[in-house]
Amino acid sequence: MYEVFLVETPMGDPYVNMAVDEFCLLQASKSGLVFLRLYTWSVPTLSLGYFQKAGEEVDLGFLQERGMVLVRRLTGGRAVLHDDELTYSFAAPVSHPAFGGDLRATYLRLAGALAASLEFLGIRVEVCRGGGGGKSFLCFDAPSRYEITWRGKKLIGSAQVRKRGAYLQHGSIPLTMDRALLSGVVKGAGPAEALLGQAVALREIDPALNLSALREALVRGFTASLGISLRKFDLFAHEGEIRCLAQKYRSREWNFKERKVGDLDERL
């Protein structure tokens, strides 16, 4: 049985959320540690994939009028609205004997853990085996390969980055989904009604489901599926490093600078 550090944080500032995820990736690279993190967001946030163009793809006026925050992720993929949800992240060395492997192997392993978690809630899901995502800038307009679906609709949107011999995968598990907000803030997302047939939130499957039950199910599902023991990780000793990383995610340069596909890191 392998030990994994469980990182649980209070409802998080969007920039700190991304900083903690990067911190876990760096620790996996430097120290060979493995991390599972579960977190929420203090304000509705639109996160962009690493290569997306904020000025072209986001209605910035709409975003500001509604008090939303924009942040760019370290991972690839498309825009995600983080609001009433639980987000998971998992970081490990690529060479880890139990959790390493190529992109496909790690995606499938974590998809299995997510599916096992939802089974504890009585929700049977599928792992998408085909497709390459939708045509818009929006993550939840269609499932990508190895993502979690329910009756053909996308339920969990995930993205991964590989850097310095380690990988980070994180994903959005929505309890509810404000499709009108999604349609308004992401250019080319299409009408809100169209998203009804493409994505689903957990409370549309089980109206009684709450955040606490979802969090407990994820801990049980990852533990059972991956055969791990969880040990809590104290972030306070690393507060200065995380604060420094958060400054990057707050900066206009990070969030608005154009990036070209083809850098040395893998992002999906």
Q: Is 24 considered catalytic here? A: no
How far apart are alpha carbons 150 and 144 in whole angstroms? 13
Catalytic option among 24, 128, 139, 244: 139
How far apart are alpha carbons 243 and 259 in whole angstroms? 24
How far apart are alpha carbons 15 and 11 in whole angstroms? 12
Q: Could you tell me how many helices (H) and strands (E) the chain has, helices first?
A: 10, 12
Reference 42, options 69, 62, 78, 75; nearest CA is 69
Q: Are strands 80-82 and 45-48 parallel, antiparallel or unpaired?
A: antiparallel
What's the alpha-carbon Rg for the chain, to the nearest Å? Answer: 17
How far apart are alpha carbons 242 and 11 in whole angstroms? 16
**Which residues are catalytic, by number?**
139
